[in-house]
């Protein structure tokens, strides 16, 4: 249990470090959006966000997909981790210690980002969002509560797992382990 909690904190810190990169990317997106809004393309760009479905699709393509690919590509590369994980001494490996392929890393991170995407799906459907939000319908509130339920399941699954896996790790057949343990896993010890 002690090792699981230590791994939980290392993983949360690693994600916080990765979120620095994500935040920089978000700032660039906001800057480009503000600049674009002042050009002749501005009305067309704003129109993408006038309908909840096109707003969500646009946000997915510009925000969620690049973040998903960031994590998946870096975890599939030889260093087996996005930026925050090696800083915290962690690697993403299969349950046997092998390098994670791109498809598995993509699946793992798609599962990991479900709460983030569900949040976006709900927010874009709040009447008046984002400039003048109104009280959301009950189904949106339930969706936003579901986000926190999924996050809690992910955190609890990691805290309670004897192998240090979240639910999305388990479903993808991967583990996040200290880098020093990768060779031991590969040897089957």
pTM here is 0.90
- Give 43-94 pLDDT, tens digit per residue: 998 899 889 999 999 999 999 999 999 999 999 999 899 999 999 999 999 9
For residues 49 and 117, what is the distance between their CA atoms, to the nearest angstrom?
Answer: 16
The domain ranges of the chain are 2-187
Average pLDDT, the chain: 93
Q: Are 146 and 138 in contact (CB under 8 A)?
A: no
């Amino acid at each position: 249990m002690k090792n699981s909690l230590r791994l939980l904190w290392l993983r949360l810190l690693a994600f916080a470090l990765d979120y620095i990169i994500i935040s920089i990317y978000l700032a660039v997106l906001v800057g480009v959006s503000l600049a674009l809004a002042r050009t002749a393309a501005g009305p067309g760009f704003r129109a993408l966000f006038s309908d909840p479905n096109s707003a969500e699709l646009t946000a997915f393509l510009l925000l969620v997909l690049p973040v998903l690919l960031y994590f998946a590509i870096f975890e599939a590369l030889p260093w087996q981790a996005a930026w925050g994980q090696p800083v915290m001494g962690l690697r993403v490996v299969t349950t046997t210690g092998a390098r994670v392929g791109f498809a598995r890393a993509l699946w793992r991170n798609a599962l990991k980002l479900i709460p983030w995407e569900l949040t976006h799906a709900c927010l874009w459907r709040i009447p008046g969002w984002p400039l003048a939000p109104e009280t959301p319908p009950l189904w949106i509130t339930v969706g936003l509560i579901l986000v926190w339920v999924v996050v809690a399941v992910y955190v609890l699954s990691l805290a309670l797992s004897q192998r240090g896996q979240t639910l999305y790790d388990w479903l993808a057949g991967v583990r996040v382990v200290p880098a020093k343990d990768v060779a031991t896993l590969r040897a089957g010890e």
